[in-house]
Structure 1
Amino acid sequence: MTYVIDIYLEASESAESVVSTLIQHLRDRKRSISATRLGVGVGDAYEDGWSGYIFDSEGGNPTDGLMLEVFRDSGVMQRRFDLLRGEASDARFFEMNTVAVVTLSGAEVDWPLVGAIWQMFNVLWPSIVYDEVSGFDIDMSDTPSL
């Protein structure tokens, strides 16, 4: 079973730059993480609009995963706006141009790492968080062990 958290943000940089900035700030704050880049799509335009990594705390169980995908693509965002229009109470949602999708899987989720990623997004970019259980009302305290 997987659990997905969407973090909507307004970023001026490419998807890859968003992830690189996030990783650097996590490491600057003494988070010992490994981040393995996923394969890239076809063409430079897709590469600029998508970036994906598998994250793990150093020494973590490699079978339990935290995947982060960042989409900075107007088509992806428009589909998200259309899908969530009835749920979004914060008008800022429709000004966001990027979505970071955190997909968690496995028996033991590294919740402290999830929390660190979530907090770092909030520090670096104005963001709005969504999940399919709580919608836009999700709070870090809604997730186990955060």
Structure 2
Amino acid sequence: MAPKGPRPALLLTLGLLAACLALASGQTWVELNKIFLKHHVDYPRTRVPNPRNYCNVMMKARGLYWTPVNTFMHAPIQSINSICSVNGTPLGGGLHQSKASIPVTTCRYSPKGGFYTTNTISRKIVIGCWNKLAVYFRE
């Protein structure tokens, strides 16, 4: 019998493996920043006919469907990367918290319904930085 529903441990392992492979293959933090931006930045926010369907549309468009939780930030790339320097507070371990609130949409997969729920708010975010570029989003 095939397993049903998302497997967070498997997804985390695959994500870490992909990051390690990217580093081992000579890709720099700039490449990791590009991956981060593809997964987490939607600025300006994409308009969809039904706002409740935003996450279903975006997760498919970005190739992230079946990911249990993902957050999209609705701020310019420069603003997000600047959290790693002047617009963020260092927390240690390469993590920085934004000084200002940022509009974000959190997408959570509902295995029972087979769709994503959409929740948009403004809040401070925590990101991982490498050479003053964002490379990780802390949910």
* Same topology, TM > 0.5: no
TM normalised by structure 2 equals 0.25
Relative contact order: is structure 1 or structure 2 higher (C-alpha 8 Å, sep ≥ 6)? 1
